[in-house]
């Protein structure tokens, strides 16, 4: 038996064929060609790219691909593909960073109000979400709006192209800002007030539920066996959490990529005004009626890339001569003790809980004795304090965890992982898994088609843990004192750049 996991991202698509024991049988990765507008993409491009990675992964899997029983797709959120009744893509897809929908967001705030929208949808009004972008289309391109049969979130669009069914999972539906996260249905009254026809939105179903079966002609073109079940994947962060085995409230996933994101789960919906005004969201999670939220920092790994590109050119040359990664070399050279320097890591604005695009970064506490290895360590301390700030905010609402399972580029750095454990005072467990999101889709599809009886059973096969990093109590106490300074300075900097 085999399973197929797929991820459709903003810059590339990936696919992996897994055995039912969690072993990788075939892998494919394909970046999209340059697009004329960096804030847009196109549904046809996404579909063609996904077909390519499916075909390539299936070919690499060879004979074992004939045993594929089910698949699921994860994707980025907020965006959607508008199609007509024949399935034709009607226009380009705006990405989350597009400013279309800004005026409509203002209208929603003035005429409906944040409180009304937050307490139902679990999201604070923001133009990145789907609803204001749908309103923008209706107002500025009414002819296209009239011809729209369905607004399909990305994973839902790709599933539709595979099996002909218009269904969306709860986690992606929640990224539209039009979904009732408590009752798991579209907020029809909100859609009416916003002027959007509710019948233009796909049927919401639980993450992991069956969407349909791959159409015979599509299966033949992709090299798939007939009768492959399409299970509902979902938002990439949710699928990554599943792939990391986040199945209880005491464990969270820490995606240590360019953007660092901690995805935690909780048992009761959080729809308090204070919680949502911190720019945390409340999203249905596919485990025991749980919910999830995202705490993230725009400059996770990105801040180390900035250091490498601007201050680490000598280190790049030395690393090249030694035949090792520049980041490994920087880790080897980095300071070994807490620096006492405070870095505010808002080099690209701040994410949760502020979502302040005007926020700026800062170094404080530098002296003539400060050297490059100390600055490098200080940057990692700064991004970790930022995540600690987010976790502290979540703890105000009873959301806490004792263990973080780390994935992404940063999870390959023992230097960063130990520092994170010492600062946060939590156990950090890196996973032997490069593609948690794709593993999550495979696990979901496996449960859907009956290969596994539960996600807990699938976790035992897919989630392989490396040596954990435990906090040093003495260093943790030192870092707690520094963290208090970080919070004070963070607020001062935020007040300056409001």
* Cross-strand partners of 284: 291
On the question of pLDDT at 352 being above 90, the answer is yes
Q: How far apart are CA 96 and CA 368, in angstroms?
A: 43
How many Cβ atoms are within 10 Å of 285's Cβ, its own excluded? 25
pLDDT in tens, 369-390: 999 999 999 999 999 999 999 9
On the question of pLDDT at 443 being above 90, the answer is yes
On the question of pLDDT at 131 being above 90, the answer is yes
Q: Report the SS3 class of residue 479.
A: helix
Query: pLDDT category, 357, cuts 50, 70, 90?
Result: confident
Q: Is 227 left (phi over 0), alpha (psi -120 to 50) or beta?
A: left
Tokens of 291: 């919910």
Are the C-beta atoms of residues 101 and 132 closer than 8 Å to each other? yes
Mean pLDDT for the chain?
96
According to DSSP, the β-strands at 210-213 and 229-235 are antiparallel
* Overall average pLDDT of the 129-146 stretch: 98
pLDDT in tens, 410-437: 999 999 999 999 999 999 999 998 899 9
On the question of pLDDT at 38 being above 90, the answer is no
| pLDDT score for 497 | 82
**DSSP E strand stretches across 101-213:** 150-153, 167-169, 179-180, 185-186, 203-205, 210-213
| pLDDT score for 289 | 86
Place of tokens 């990936």: 14
Q: How far apart are CA 405 and CA 246, in angstroms?
A: 8
* Cross-strand partners of 293: 264
- Report helix angle 436-448 to 236-243, nearest 10: 80
How many Cβ atoms are within 10 Å of 315's Cβ, its own excluded? 20
Q: How far apart are CA 489 and CA 346, in angstroms?
A: 12
Q: How far apart are CA 260 and CA 318, in angstroms?
A: 28
> What are the Cα distances from residue 195, in Å, to 79, 117, 266?
19, 15, 33
Are the C-beta atoms of residues 134 and 140 closer than 8 Å to each other? no
| pLDDT score for 495 | 87
pLDDT in tens, 262-277: 999 999 999 999 999 9
% of the chain exceeding 70 in pLDDT: 100
Q: How far apart are CA 208 and CA 71, in angstroms?
A: 10
Query: pLDDT category, 109, cuts 50, 70, 90?
Result: very high
On the question of pLDDT at 36 being above 90, the answer is no
pTM assigned to the model: 0.96
Q: How far apart are CA 161 and CA 93, in angstroms?
A: 16
Place of tokens 């003790």: 337
% of the chain exceeding 90 in pLDDT: 96
């Amino acid at each position: 038996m085999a399973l197929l996991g797929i991820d459709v991202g903003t810059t590339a698509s990936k696919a992996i064929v897994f055995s039912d024991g969690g072993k990788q049988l075939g892998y494919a990765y394909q970046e999209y060609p340059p697009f004329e507008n960096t804030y847009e993409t196109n549904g046809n491009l996404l579909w063609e790219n996904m077909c390519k990675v499916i075909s390539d992964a299936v070919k690499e899997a060879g004979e074992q691909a004939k045993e594929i029983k089910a698949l699921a797709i994860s994707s980025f959120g907020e965006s959607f593909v508008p199609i007509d009744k024949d399935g034709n893509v009607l226009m380009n897809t705006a990405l989350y960073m597009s400013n279309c929908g800004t005026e409509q967001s203002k209208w929603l705030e003035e005429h409906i109000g944040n409180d009304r929208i937050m307490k139902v949808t679990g999201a604070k009004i923001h133009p990145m979400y789907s609803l204001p972008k749908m309103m923008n289309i209706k107002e500025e391109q009414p002819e296209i709006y009239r011809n729209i049969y369905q607004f399909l979130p990305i994973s839902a669009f790709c599933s539709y192209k595979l099996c002909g069914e218009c269904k969306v999972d709860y986690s992606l539906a929640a990224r539209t800002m039009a979904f009732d996260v408590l009752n798991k249905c579209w907020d029809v009254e909100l859609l009416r007030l916003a002027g959007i026809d509710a019948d233009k939105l796909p049927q919401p179903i639980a993450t992991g539920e069956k969407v349909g079966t791959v159409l015979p002609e599509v299966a033949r073109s992709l090299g798939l066996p007939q009768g492959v079940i399409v299970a509902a994947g979902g938002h990439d962060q949710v699928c990554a959490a599943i792939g990391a085995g986040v199945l209880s409230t005491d464990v969270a996933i820490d995606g240590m990529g360019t953007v660092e994101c901690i995805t935690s789960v909780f048992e009761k919906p959080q729809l308090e005004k204070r919680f949502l005004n911190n720019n945390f969201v409340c999203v249905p999670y596919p485990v025991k009626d749980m919910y999830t939220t995202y705490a993230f920092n725009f400059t996770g790994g990105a801040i180390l890339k900035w250091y490498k590109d601007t201050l680490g050119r000598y280190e790049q040359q030395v690393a090249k001569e030694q035949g090792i990664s520049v980041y490994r070399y920087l880790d080897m050279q980095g300071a070994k003790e807490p620096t006492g320097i405070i870095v505010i890591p808002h080099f690209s604005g701040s994410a949760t809980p502020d979502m302040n695009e005007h926020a700026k970064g800062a170094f404080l506490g530098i002296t003539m004795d400060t050297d490059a290895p100390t600055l490098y360590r200080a940057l990692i301390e700064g991004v970790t304090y930022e995540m600690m700030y987010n976790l502290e905010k979540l703890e105000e609402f009873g959301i806490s965890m004792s263990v973080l399972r780390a994935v992404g580029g940063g999870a390959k750095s023992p230097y960063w992982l130990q520092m994170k454990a010492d600062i946060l005072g939590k156990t950090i467990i890196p996973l032997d898994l490069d593609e948690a999101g794709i593993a999550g889709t495979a696990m979901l599809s496996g449960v859907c088609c009956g290969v596994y009886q539960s996600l807990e059973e699938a976790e035992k096969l897919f989630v392989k843990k490396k040596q954990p990093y435990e906090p040093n109590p003495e260093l943790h106490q030192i870092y707690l004192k520094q963290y208090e300074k970080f919070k004070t300075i963070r607020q001062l900097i935020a007040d300056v750049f409001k």
